């Protein structure tokens, strides 16, 4: 097995005639400890730890409320409703694009002279979706408890509060049910539409129910619940206030990939993403923005990965809908480290490319794909090699499938990096991230939590 060097000159990182995947002394060592191996398992990733933390906080609140008598008597519906609304607010706000960008900005303020374990933990900021999941589950549970209290007691709001409450409960259960991993993976379009349209309906019905419980719109406007609902409404509406249909120029270097070029007065920051749609009410797809330093506009790399992307490549549009705010992605955590290794497969080069072009952090690229030039075009490959002359480009059509963990470990050791960032499909991402973390190396990759 040999590496494929697509540059005219020899690759100093991989001497001709050698096989870096089998070079002596370059095999990954065993995991550093049993504890490290357990903590590196996907079941214990930071996303799930945050879900557990939110659950534990709500359990503690339940226990304290039981001791304090909050959940009994005529005031129980209000107390339960407050707990439900607080969790729903957290679930909604932590997914707001400005909040996401703020979280990334705060996490990446740490200077590189801070201890590596601290910076490595801050790099897990993109697991914030655990707060969303935990709060959504807890908020649904609190809301069902409030609905039960309203049903069995002579609570405020009368029949109106009950009717709207049962409607909200049904919608919340539908949203939670379609978000369960088995359903979401098989019926992603259903999950997305239920989340969007069901979420809007829930917000509207919560306004109506809150009005009944408060005793009218004037009382609601003066209440804390009204203020929270107003913040949530603005948060949900903000991305849609920037909805517009913009021109796009699509290049197709192959039947597998399309390069979409945008120039409508927006140049997003490197590492951000843009949501694109042909039918804005029904379906949205996010892609990594690739701005070129010194040029206006940006590119998106769209690979054939389903019906929507297939249609985009085979029947490229001349206009598409975009909305929202350019949002930070996992690779933005690179600035926490002195040197990083990027491991990408196929069109995973899209999220990596803007960071290579920006050159904010010394980086080494390992890119595994099938016939790089035929698939992605000479221009793109040459552009990458200008910025990454020592990149390892592995052609699976010629050299077969490599041991991704071994390649990542070799690049990490040879480049003297502090972290590895992997952009690939789910199995390979877990293989690399888990394998590196078991060996004490900070590693990062998408977690498919949304």
Name the band, by pLDDT with cuts 50, 70 and 90, for residue 87: very high
- Say which range, 117-121, 306-310, 372-376, 433-437, has the weakest mean pLDDT: 306-310
CATH superfamily of 244-328: Translation factors (2.40.30.10)
**Cα dist. 193→133, 175, 282, 360 in Å?**
17, 9, 6, 38
User: pLDDT tens digits, residue range 163-183?
Assistant: 999 999 999 999 999 998 888
Please tell me the least confidently modeled range out of 103-112, 243-252, 290-299: 290-299
Cβ pair 146, 84 in contact under 8 A: yes
Domain boundaries, the chain: 20-30+331-445, 39-241, 244-328
Q: What is the mean pLDDT of residues 270-284?
A: 90
pLDDT at 450: 45
**pTM (2 decimals)?**
0.89
pLDDT, one tens digit per residue, over 397-416 is: 999 999 999 999 999 999 99
Min mean pLDDT across 76-85, 187-196, 422-431 is at 187-196
For residues 53-77, average pLDDT: 94
Answer whether 424's CB lies under 8 Å from 345's CB.
Answer: yes
CATH (residue range 20-30+331-445): 3.40.50.80
Inform me whether the pLDDT recorded for 289 exceeds 80.
yes
Q: Mean per-residue pLDDT for 140-152? A: 94
pLDDT of residue 223: 94
Res 78 pLDDT > 60: yes
**Per-residue pLDDT, 158:** 84
Cβ burial, residue 216 (10 Å; 0-12/13-18/19+): exposed
* pLDDT classification of 111: cutoffs 50, 70, 90: very high
Rounded CA-CA distance 246/329 in Å is 23
Average pLDDT over residues 105-120: 97
- Stretch 421-443: mean pLDDT: 95
pLDDT for res 155? 67
Torsion 229-232-238-239 (CA) sign? negative
Identify the band that residue 449 occupies on the pLDDT scale cut at 50, 70 and 90: low
pLDDT band for 438, please (50, 70, 90 cuts). Answer: very high
CA–CA gap between residue 236 and residue 353 (Å, rounded): 31
pLDDT at 383 over 90: yes
For 178-234, write each residue's pLDDT tens digit. 998 888 888 888 898 999 999 999 999 999 999 999 989 899 999 999 999 999 999
Average pLDDT across the chain, whole number: 90
């Amino acid at each position: 097995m040999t590496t494929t060097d697509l540059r005219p000159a020899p690759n100093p990182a991989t001497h001709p005639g050698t096989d870096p995947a089998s070079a002596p002394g370059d095999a990954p060592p065993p995991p550093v400890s049993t504890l490290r191996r357990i903590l590196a398992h996907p079941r214990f990733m930071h996303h799930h730890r945050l879900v557990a933390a939110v659950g534990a906080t709500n359990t503690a609140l339940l226990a304290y409320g039981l001791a304090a008598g909050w959940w009994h008597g005529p005031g129980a519906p209000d107390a339960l409703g407050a707990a439900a609304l607080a969790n729903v607010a957290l679930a909604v706000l932590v997914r707001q694009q400005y909040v996401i960008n703020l979280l990334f900005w705060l996490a990446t303020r740490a200077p590189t002279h801070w201890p590596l374990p601290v910076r490595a933990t801050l790099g897990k900021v993109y697991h914030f979706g655990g707060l969303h999941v935990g709060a959504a589950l807890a908020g649904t549970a609190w809301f069902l408890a409030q609905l039960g209290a309203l049903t069995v007691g002579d609570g405020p709001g009368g029949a109106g509060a009950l009717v709207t409450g049962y409607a909200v409960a049904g919608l919340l259960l539908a949203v939670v049910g379609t978000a369960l991993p088995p359903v979401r993976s098989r019926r992603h379009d259903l999950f997305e539409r239920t989340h969007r349209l069901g979420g809007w309906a829930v917000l509207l019905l919560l306004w109506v129910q809150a009005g009944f419980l408060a005793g009218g719109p004037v009382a609601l406007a003066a209440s804390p619940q009204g203020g929270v609902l107003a913040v949530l409404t603005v948060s949900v509406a903000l991305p849609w206030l920037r909805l517009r249909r913009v021109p796009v120029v699509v290049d197709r270097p192959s039947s597998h990939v399309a390069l979409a070029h945008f120039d409508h007065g927006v140049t997003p920051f490197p590492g951000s993403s843009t949501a694109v749609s042909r039918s804005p009410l029904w379906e949205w797809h996010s892609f990594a923005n690739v701005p070129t330093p010194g040029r206006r506009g940006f590119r998106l790399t769209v690979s054939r990965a389903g019906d929507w992307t297939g249609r985009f490549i085979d029947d490229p549009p001349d206009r598409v809908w975009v909305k929202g705010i350019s949002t930070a992605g996992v690779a933005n955590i690179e600035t926490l480290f002195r040197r990083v290794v990027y491991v990408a497969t196929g069109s995973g080069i899209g999220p990596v490319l803007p960071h290579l072009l920006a050159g904010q952090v010394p980086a080494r690229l390992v890119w595994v794909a099938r016939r790089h030039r035929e698939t992605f075009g000479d221009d793109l490959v040459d552009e990458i090699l200008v910025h990454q002359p020592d990149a390892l480009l592995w052609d699976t059509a010629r050299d077969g499938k490599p041991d991704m963990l071994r390649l990542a470990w070799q690049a990490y050791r040879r480049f003297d990096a502090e972290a590895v960032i992997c952009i690939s499909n789910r199995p390979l991402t877990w293989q690399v991230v888990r394998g590196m973390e078991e060996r004490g190396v900070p590693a990062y990759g998408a977690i498919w939590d949304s």
